[in-house]
A = this chain, B = another copy of it.
Amino acid sequence: MSFIQRCTQAWSIRSSMLCVGLDPEPSRYPKEFQSRHSHEATEAFCKGIIQATASYACAFKPQIAHFAAIGAEAVLERLSQWFKTEYPDHLWILDAKRGDIGSTAQHYATEAFQRYRADAVTLSPYMGTDSLEPFLGYGDKGIFLLCRTSNPGGDDLQMQTLQSGERVFEHIARIAAHRWNTHGQTGLVVGATYPAELARVRAIAPTLPLLIPGIGAQGGDLQATVAAAVTPTGGIFVNSSRVILYASAGTDWQMAAAQEARNTQTALQQAAASLDAPRA
């Protein structure tokens, strides 16, 4: 099954376009974890969040820096193995934003797809085609390329206009939709904070799966996001991290996380239903 088919299946089975981002911050864990070692607490907290929210999400996105900063690679390994066994239909998207060439890119692909069992990984497009090929060599795996990111600094390069009239993010979207998408493996990262650019990306790349951070804590508008980018099969993974993870620090943390996830899933479904375009 190709990666795009796996995406379509994930959107359909779960009736969800919600991706829950796993950005573990030990200082923000529920009180019951505060006395435990940070590695043990991180593993238990992430598992608890996944168990509480899996019914409302089609994907989970572990952010690797949060594990690397505390030396918790082994936790992410165990979590990955457990997740792929327990939730085979959900997608596991490793947010690593890697980018390198040759044997180094091959090692990063090994890290993402073998060590952490990711279904997809986020990558930077700055180094171009030969930095992506080692990842595309895994035929059933996906890549999400940074395109128009949710932060203001994204303007420094992504919003520059080329002589062709295209802006840099549009140029990346166009190559991604054609030259870099020979086997339905390629998606793009586009922030919810810029709905007009999100709509431009969707126009350039009508069928590419989009990973969309920036709703919730970063302030992106959910309704505008769906209107700009949803497709008949789903088409988008709308990421939410902190609002769900840290919904409560009390004993009700799992219930609060589930509630936030369900609210977001429902809001996404309603936003899609309210559009004129019929959805499958």
Tell yes or no: A160 within 8 A of B by CB.
Answer: yes
Please, which residues of chain B bring their CB within 8 A of the CB of A63?
100, 104
Tell yes or no: A168 within 8 A of B by CB.
Answer: yes
Please, which residues of chain B bring their CB within 8 A of the CB of A102?
151
Query: Contact flags (1/0) for A130-153 with B, using CB distance below 8 Å?
Result: 111000000000000010011111
Residue from B107, B111, B129 within 8 A of A153 (CB atoms)? B129
The answer to whether A127 and B115 touch across the interface, beta carbons within 8 angstroms, is no
Chain B nearest CB from A278 CB (Å) reads: 36
The answer to whether A175 and B156 touch across the interface, beta carbons within 8 angstroms, is yes
The answer to whether B131 and A151 touch across the interface, beta carbons within 8 angstroms, is yes
The answer to whether A128 and B108 touch across the interface, beta carbons within 8 angstroms, is no
Nearest B residue to A110, CB-CB: B69
- Copies of the protein in its oligomer: 2
Please, which residues of chain B bring their CB within 8 A of the CB of A32?
none
Chain B nearest CB from A107 CB (Å) reads: 4
Residue from B68, B128, B151, B158 within 8 A of A156 (CB atoms)? B128
Tell yes or no: A49 within 8 A of B by CB.
Answer: no
Please, which residues of chain B bring their CB within 8 A of the CB of A65?
98, 100, 104-105, 107-108, 111
The answer to whether A99 and B101 touch across the interface, beta carbons within 8 angstroms, is no
The answer to whether B69 and A111 touch across the interface, beta carbons within 8 angstroms, is yes
Tell yes or no: A161 within 8 A of B by CB.
Answer: yes
Which parts of A17-50 form the interface with B (CB within 8 Å)? 23, 25
Query: Contact flags (1/0) for A68-110 with B, using CB distance below 8 Å?
Result: 1101011001000000000000000000011111111101101
Chain B nearest CB from A23 CB (Å) reads: 7
Q: How far is the CA of A98 from the CA of B160 in the complex (A)?
A: 22
The answer to whether A68 and B107 touch across the interface, beta carbons within 8 angstroms, is yes
The answer to whether A99 and B100 touch across the interface, beta carbons within 8 angstroms, is no
Tell yes or no: A238 within 8 A of B by CB.
Answer: no
Q: How far is the CA of A66 from the CA of B107 in the complex (A)?
A: 6
The answer to whether A171 and B175 touch across the interface, beta carbons within 8 angstroms, is no
Query: Which of A111, A115, A146, A158 counts the most B-chain CB atoms under 10 A from its CB?
Result: A111
Tell yes or no: A250 within 8 A of B by CB.
Answer: no
Residue from B111, B150, B168 within 8 A of A168 (CB atoms)? B168
User: Using a CB–CB distance below 8 Å, which chain A residues touch chain B?
Assistant: 23, 25, 63, 65-66, 68-69, 71, 73-74, 77, 97-105, 107-108, 110-111, 115, 124-132, 146, 149-158, 160-163, 168, 171-172, 175
10 A-B residue pairs with Cβ-Cβ distance under 8 Å, sorted by A, are A65-B111, A68-B73, A71-B73, A99-B124, A126-B158, A128-B151, A131-B151, A132-B153, A160-B162, A161-B163
